[in-house]
Amino acid sequence: MVYNVIGLMSGSSLDGLDIAYVRLEEVRGNWNYEILKTECVEYTPEWKGALRNASSLSALEYLNLDTKYGKLIGTLVNSFIAQQELEHKVHFIASHGHTVFHEPASFTTAQLGDGASIAAITGLPVINDLRSVDVALGGQGAPIVPIADKLLFGDYNFLLNLGGIANISVKHGDAYTAFDICPANQMLNALAAREQLEMDRDGLLAAKGAILPEKLASLEQFDFYNVKPPRSLSNSVAMAMSGPVLEAQDAATSDLLATATTHIANEVERAIRQNGNGISGKMLVTGGGALNKTLVNLISARTACLGIEVDVPEENTVLFKEALAMALLGVLRWREEANVLSSVSGASRDSVGGALWLS
């Protein structure tokens, strides 16, 4: 079977809405993919502020924003379809939405982006709310990408995503474990904003800075780093854990970036040492942080001694792997097949996650 799907992802780094038109094919249990058309639509300052502050809204304000954001997504998808000449070629849309609340201990997770509004505006079936069933079953609801790691990237023993929050999948034979590691791009981008930059492109500022030992020690003090998987981070907790550098007013931005970048590399190494079980092999590195040469070089240096070779793929896969994964999760939901792995999340069983909206 062949599925032509638009996958949508909005991450905690708030860089924009990732849109990927992908073709997924299943033949006798084997999956193949092509990323055919892509776009990252940058958020306006107003939308960045609205999404960043969504957790402080009243219930009614939050629901209104959920609808408004769903309409925005639908409008952006319509523009993408028109620009890429995809009319009558898309089977359905799979949307992750934008995470605002994520508290698995309370069986609660919420992503903005009303599926009914997306379906109404685009006239296409929409699958969203991909995490809630897993959380209801006692899981972390994160990461949910490992099903794509298993079905589409099975040649890699490690799959590291350097997004707003860094997370990793580890292959153990035919099984996978996966978990959040530490704050990543959302911390680096917040520091770069001090210099009126969207990001520390290529890690150039970090490369010029000096590591601040006391700040580094403060970043690495959190109990979270010694919690065994399954484990996940909410955006708000990740930002709080970034406090030692984000709240610093007495240091150069380049020094803070050097410290934060070193911290991320250190935590990737620590996570692999604690949970890799001596496995070696190739590690696929994707997400916006994979384009940060300073960060990737630090990670490569720390993992080489573990027998792990870093592989940064072509740019479309780097930037749109999560949107591709959302498309696959949507396809599996459409087929009523498990798309969230309990071995990763800690839920009581694998689940078929996602709400389906038909216009």
pLDDT digits (tens, 9 = 90+) for 326-350: 999 999 999 999 999 999 999 999 9
Same domain, 151 and 226: yes
Could you identify the residue written with the tokens 């001694």? Answer: 305
Omega before 143 within 30 of 0, i.e. cis = yes
Same domain, 177 and 224: yes
pTM to 2 decimal places: 0.92
**Region 20-48 average pLDDT:** 97
283 pLDDT tier (thresholds 50, 70, 90): very high
* Listed residue (314, 338, 337, 318) closest to 176, CA to CA: 338
What would the pLDDT profile of 103-130 be if each residue is shown by its tens digit? 999 999 999 999 999 999 999 999 999 9
Same domain, 115 and 251: no
**Region 198-223 average pLDDT:** 97
**Region 194-221 average pLDDT:** 97
**Six token digits for residue 183:** 């704050």
**Region 28-50 average pLDDT:** 96
Q: What is the pLDDT of residue 150?
A: 96
15 pLDDT tier (thresholds 50, 70, 90): confident
The average confidence (pLDDT) of the chain is 96
Same domain, 239 and 181: yes
14 has pLDDT over 90: no
Per the CB < 8 A criterion, the answer to whether 271 and 159 are in contact is no
Percentage of the chain exceeding pLDDT 90: 95
Per the CB < 8 A criterion, the answer to whether 268 and 166 are in contact is yes
Omega before 230 within 30 of 0, i.e. cis = yes
**Region 272-281 average pLDDT:** 93
**Region 293-298 average pLDDT:** 98
CA distances from 223 to 169, 243, 345 (A): 21, 15, 19
Same domain, 129 and 157: no
Work out how many domains the chain is built from and give that number: 2
13 has pLDDT over 90: no
Same domain, 120 and 229: no
Q: Which amino acid is at 242?
A: S
How wide is the angle at C-alpha 44 spanned by C-alphas 43 and 50, nearest 5°? Answer: 85
**Region 11-17 average pLDDT:** 87
Same domain, 152 and 287: yes
Same domain, 117 and 151: no
Q: What is the pLDDT of residue 231?
A: 92
**Region 182-208 average pLDDT:** 96
Could you identify the residue written with the tokens 């070696």? Answer: 280
Q: Which amino acid is at 186?
A: Q
Q: Give the Cα separation of 264 and 348 in Å (integer).
A: 31
196 has pLDDT over 90: yes
**Six token digits for residue 353:** 């996650």
DSSP 23-44: EEEEETTEEEEEEEEEEEEPPP
58 pLDDT tier (thresholds 50, 70, 90): very high
Of 254-258, 277-281, 296-300, least confident by mean pLDDT is 277-281
Helices first, then strands: H and E counts in the chain: 14, 12
Q: Give the Cα separation of 179 and 168 in Å (integer).
A: 6
What would the pLDDT profile of 124-144 be if each residue is shown by its tens digit? 999 999 999 999 999 999 889
CATH code (residue 167) = 3.30.420.40
Three-class SS state of 237: helix
Same domain, 90 and 110: yes
Q: What is the pLDDT of residue 174?
A: 87
Better-scored residue on pLDDT, 101 or 14: 101
Domain hosting 352: range is: 2-141+320-357
Helical ranges in 158-290 per DSSP H: 185-192, 204-208, 213-219, 235-241, 243-246, 253-275
Same domain, 256 and 181: yes
359 has pLDDT over 90: no
Same domain, 157 and 192: yes
Q: What is the pLDDT of residue 208?
A: 98
11 has pLDDT over 90: no
Same domain, 248 and 338: no
